[in-house]
């Protein structure tokens, strides 16, 4: 009987202990002071912003500033590209193929400015077509979408054949336009053909939100269903597409995330 009483007492004290602990772990708001929820360390890293929003902040990697193409870019085979610099702009030369960054990137913030030809030629996908690829696989469409109907998830600012832009924020052909892109690279599980976390993209076109943290089903494909083409991959180049139109680029910078 004495033993039973002792056991009961031990259990009761243990219960009180747990209750006391829970009280410490969960203080009520009326017993708190503002300082208890302030986090000071580590201090947030300082970055010097550009003068204009389109200027690179101090920690950006400059991918093209109007001069030297060959420092950061090469063609598909790793050779000097045939794309040209004209008046500080990097211009696609039909038939010369894509250009890609020598460096590889995963998650990033990318600023890029582009211009479709002022002389309007062709229609639908044939007018001012190029593209910005992330990790070499995921295209953000560049197209002259000013008074130029095409399939909605193929127009400027679309994540090609996967997500149409929220709005068409296109400027007239021949005017400079910008994309500000926030990209979260995918995470793969043990299965090398399935995303644990798919790639996610946010895009501003000329300062207007057009893709709001959308997830991709797989790499961009012209024919077929994107998810059939998923394969485990790491960081990759930024690619600019040669789609046969003399689309120009300038002021390209990137911040690794
Ligand atoms: Mg394209």
- When divided into structural domains, the chain yields a total of 2
Short-list 137, 140, 139, 161, CA closest to 151: 161
Tell how far the Cα of 192 is from the centroid of ligand 1, in angstroms.
27
Tell how far the Cα of 92 is from the centroid of ligand 1, in angstroms.
12
Mean residue pLDDT across the chain? 92
Tell how far the Cα of 126 is from the centroid of ligand 1, in angstroms.
9
Q: What domain range is 18 assigned to?
A: 2-37
Tell how far the Cα of 67 is from the centroid of ligand 1, in angstroms.
24
Tell me the C-alpha distance between 131 and 141, whole Å.
5
Q: Based on the domain organization, do 33 and 113 belong to the same domain?
A: no
Tell how far the Cα of 28 is from the centroid of ligand 1, in angstroms.
56
Res 21: pLDDT: 53
Q: Binning pLDDT at 50, 70 and 90, where does residue 30 land?
A: confident
Contact status, residue 169 vs residue 210, Cβ threshold 8 Å:
yes
Q: Based on the domain organization, do 76 and 13 belong to the same domain?
A: no
Res 207: pLDDT: 96
Res 25: pLDDT: 65
Tell how far the Cα of 140 is from the centroid of ligand 1, in angstroms.
8
Tell how far the Cα of 182 is from the centroid of ligand 1, in angstroms.
19
Using the predicted structure, report yes or no on whether residue 173 has a pLDDT greater than 60.
yes
pTM score:
0.86
Q: Based on the domain organization, do 32 and 148 belong to the same domain?
A: no
CATH classification of the domain holding 146: 2.60.120.560
In a domain, residue 55? The reply is no
Tell how far the Cα of 34 is from the centroid of ligand 1, in angstroms.
52
- Residues near ion ligand 1 (CB < 5 Å) are 129, 131, 241, 243
Q: Based on the domain organization, do 21 and 104 belong to the same domain?
A: no
Tell me the C-alpha distance between 182 and 250, whole Å.
18
In a domain, residue 51? The reply is no
Short-list 4, 248, 203, CA closest to 111: 203
At 193-244, the pLDDT tens digits run: 899 999 999 999 999 999 999 999 999 999 999 999 999 999 999 999 999 9
Q: Based on the domain organization, do 70 and 10 belong to the same domain?
A: no
């Amino acid at each position: 009987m004495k033993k039973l009483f002792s056991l009961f007492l031990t259990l009761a004290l243990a219960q009180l202990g747990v209750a006391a602990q829970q009280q410490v772990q969960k203080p009520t708001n009326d017993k708190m002071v503002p300082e208890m929820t302030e986090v000071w360390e580590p201090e947030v890293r300082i970055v010097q912003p550009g003068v204009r929003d389109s200027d690179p902040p101090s920690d950006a990697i400059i991918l093209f500033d109007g001069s030297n193409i060959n420092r950061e870019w090469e063609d598909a085979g790793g050779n000097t590209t045939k794309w040209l610099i004209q008046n500080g702009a990097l211009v696609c030369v039909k038939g010369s193929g894509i250009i890609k960054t020598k460096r590889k990137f995963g998650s990033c913030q990318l600023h890029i400015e582009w211009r479709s030809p002022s002389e309007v030629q062709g229609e639908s996908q044939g007018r001012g077509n190029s593209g910005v690829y992330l990790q070499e696989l995921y295209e953000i469409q560049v197209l002259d979408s000013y008074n130029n109907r095409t399939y909605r998830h193929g127009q400027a600012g679309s994540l090609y054949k996967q997500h149409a832009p929220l709005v068409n924020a296109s400027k007239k052909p021949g005017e400079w336009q910008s994309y500000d892109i926030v990209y979260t690279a995918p995470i793969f599980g043990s299965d090398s053909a399935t995303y644990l976390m798919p790639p996610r993209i946010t895009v501003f076109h000329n300062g207007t939100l057009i893709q709001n943290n959308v997830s991709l089903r797989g790499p961009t494909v012209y024919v077929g269903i994107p998810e059939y083409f998923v394969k485990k991959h790491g960081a990759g180049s930024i690619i600019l597409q040669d789609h046969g139109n003399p689309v120009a680029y300038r002021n390209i910078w990137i911040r690794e995330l």
